[in-house]
Structure 1
Amino acid sequence: MKMSMTTTFLLISLVLCSTLLDITNAASQPPAQASGGGFCNSKCSGRCALKGVHSRCMKYCMMCCDKCRCVPSGTSGHLDECPCYRDWKAPNGRPKCP
């Protein structure tokens, strides 16, 4: 089946735009060291150090860190350092992140 020049041009344009979007999205992501196990584990360990149920605090802190790519400093408060962490709510309206 023959493709017209217009169809070929449109397909090439679509592929190029898609590639450009992928490159742009990759460039806008925070650096790899700012997320993932090591970063989140160390930040959440400090955040949850004084919590009564350490394992539950770590579970939710790690979830929040993976999504938000940041954890506020200290064991509580300082939520303005990480608005995503501060604003993520559980279904009941309470804060999701410790």
Structure 2
Amino acid sequence: MSDMTWFTIISTLGAALAVAIGMMFPALAMGRAISQALDALARQPEAEKSVMRTLFIGLAMIESLAIYVLVIVLIILFRNPLLEYLVTGS
């Protein structure tokens, strides 16, 4: 196999690994946040509006991390600066 084939395979596997790790931790954090919010609501039902507002802001921040991971991986896959170096052979 050529260098280009190996480079493409390694880039794709690296991107898949980055997405797997980069999505796993925000998903765990979201599950923990929701669990804690439900626990807080069970203890103090009258604080529902405050807890829910804070929960949704926190979930949005956690989700933005997962979106950043996806954007970086897509940049690496489709506009990899090392690919240009490999093609020119310099």
Query: Structures share a fold, TM > 0.5?
Result: no
Using the size of structure 2 for normalisation, the TM-score is 0.38
Using the size of structure 1 for normalisation, the TM-score is 0.36
Greater relative contact order (Cα < 8 A, sep 6+):
2
More helix by share: 2
